[in-house]
Homo-oligomer: A and B are copies of this chain.
């Protein structure tokens, strides 16, 4: 691996994307972290993304504003829909329409300008909570489309969508990240974090995260409003 190889890494400020960034850096990539301000409730994540990108040595961090909130349809961007405390069956109301597709597309645009051939995204099909755009079939179809979409693809420089977490359990993710020096106190996973980034302790995302630390036998550094 040439140390100059560039990657675009989607960094939300959550546990999974921080781990993904640590893995990309560990593989020797010059990491260009990309975050989105898309009308999400949990703007605390963006502060976390900034901290994580800096701590884990990203060479650049860019935040793109998109008004997905104007599109509506999710409890994460539409403030008239409540975030549920417990996971139901099927695809949850916290699903943001086509979110990973939108994020990967902007990552693809930036990758093309940077001449980066790798895009890292921390999707996970194990603890995936029913989101359709976290599955291997989806990622594979995205990669195929991407290589027909871009100048780089057409000119014989394919883009790889790297999903190092896709088949890992939350426990394994936390263990891997801890070995790579991720400071999880900097990350925010909660769907309803307050302005200081403190987690609600009750939502689906908080539950999965808390259980992950417990099962990994590691102290949970998350700051909770209530525990």
Contacts and interface: CB of A to CB of B under 8 A. Distances in A.
Contacts of A141: 141, 144-145, 148
A130 to B, nearest CB: 9
Given A101-B105, A105-B105, A138-B145, A113 B71 contact: yes
Interface stretch (A18-26, A40-48, A61-69, A197-205): A61-69
A72 interface: yes
Interface in A83-115: 91, 95-102, 104-106, 108-110, 112-113
B91 A98 contact: no
B105 A109 contact: no
Nearest to A96: B109
Nearest to A159: B98
Contacts of A110: 71, 97
A64 B73 contact: no
Contact of A113 (B66, B97, B105, B146): B97
Interface in A127-155: 132-133, 135, 137-138, 141-142, 144-146, 148-151, 153-154
Residue among A91, A99, A112, A137 having the largest count of chain B Cβ atoms under 10 Å: A112
A71 B144 CA distance: 23
Question: Which of A72, A108, A142, A145 has most chain B Cβ within 10 Å?
Answer: A145
B67 A97 contact: no
A100 B149 CA distance: 8
A95 B153 CA distance: 14
A67 B35 CA distance: 12
Contacts of A156: none
Nearest to A102: B105
A104 B98 CA distance: 10
Contacts of A108: 97-98, 101
Given A101-B145, A101-B149, 13 more contacts: A62-B70, A68-B106, A97-B108, A97-B109, A98-B106, A98-B149, A99-B109, A100-B149, A101-B105, A101-B146, A141-B148, A142-B145, A144-B145
